[in-house]
């Protein structure tokens, strides 16, 4: 057992520069940890924002043998000790006989991206229902129309031009509720986007607004 441990530890040294390179590229947001499976402890760690050190126990990071048959495990979600969300991935490191001897875990702290995402979402926020006379700039209105129709098409898995009358009626109702059909000269543009005639659009609107 002593010889096995010595051999595995010396083999792990070849992976340390890889850990250094990955951590340097994404510093300070990525931590790289190499867990020695023969000693059940951390053999190497770079950019240690989890506050762990070489020699610390790896008991909480162990995978069963079936999982270690995979070369790459993940990505998967973890939570750091400070509460930050991590996106992690693990590579199984093997000796010259292809036996798993260590795990290289790459932990990406995504808290900064989550914060940026929340800020972008607040800036891009478009109410689902607008006041009937809410003003649209021409370009903004077209963008809002395309986004609303595109999202509806995605939800239903088909283009607007291929929708049955009931589904198309639902779409037109949502566009009308969002104020997108209250804009001056909007019906011809909406009808063209939906692949129907203006007469058909007016017929749908009459039915929707009269119900």
Please list the rounded mean pLDDT of every run of 10 residues in the chain (211 residues): 44 92 94 93 94 88 80 86 86 91 93 73 53 46 86 86 91 91 87 92 90 65
Q: Report how far residue 32's alpha carbon sits from residue 46's, in angstroms, rounded to the nearest whole number.
A: 5
Q: Report how far residue 15's alpha carbon sits from residue 91's, in angstroms, rounded to the nearest whole number.
A: 11
Nearest Cα neighbor of 189 from 130, 156, 124, 141 is 141
The upper half-sphere exposure of residue 67, i.e. CA atoms within 13 Å in the direction of its Cβ, equals 11
Predicted local distance difference test score (pLDDT) of residue 10: 73
- Omega before residue 133 within 30° of 0, cis: no
pTM (two decimals): 0.53
Do the beta carbons of residue 63 and residue 103 sit within 8 Å?
yes
User: Residue 33: left (phi > 0), alpha (psi -120 to 50), or beta?
Assistant: beta
């Amino acid at each position: 057992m002593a010889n096995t441990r010595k051999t595995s530890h010396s083999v792990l040294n070849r992976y340390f520069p890889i850990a250094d390179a990955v951590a340097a590229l994404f510093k300070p947001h990525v931590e790289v940890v190499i867990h020695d499976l023969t000693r059940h402890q951390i053999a190497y760690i770079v950019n240690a924002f989890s506050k762990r050190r070489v020699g610390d126990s790896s008991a909480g990071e162990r995978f069963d043998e079936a999982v270690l048959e995979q070369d790459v495990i993940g990505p998967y979600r973890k939570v750091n000790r400070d509460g930050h969300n991590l996106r992690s991935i693990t590579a199984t490191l093997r000796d010259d006989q292809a036996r798993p001897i260590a795990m290289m875990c790459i932990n990406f702290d995504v808290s900064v991206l989550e914060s940026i995402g929340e800020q972008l979402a607040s800036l891009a926020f478009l109410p689902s229902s607008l006041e009937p006379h809410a003003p649209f700039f021409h370009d903004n209105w077209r963008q809002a129309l395309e986004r609303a129709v595109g999202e509806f098409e995605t939800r239903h898995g088909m283009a607007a031009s291929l929708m049955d009358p009931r589904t198309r009626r639902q779409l037109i109702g949502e566009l009308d509720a969002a104020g997108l059909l209250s804009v001056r000269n909007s019906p011809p543009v909406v009808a063209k986007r939906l692949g129907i005639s203006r007469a058909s659009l007016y017929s749908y609107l009459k039915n929707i607004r009269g119900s």
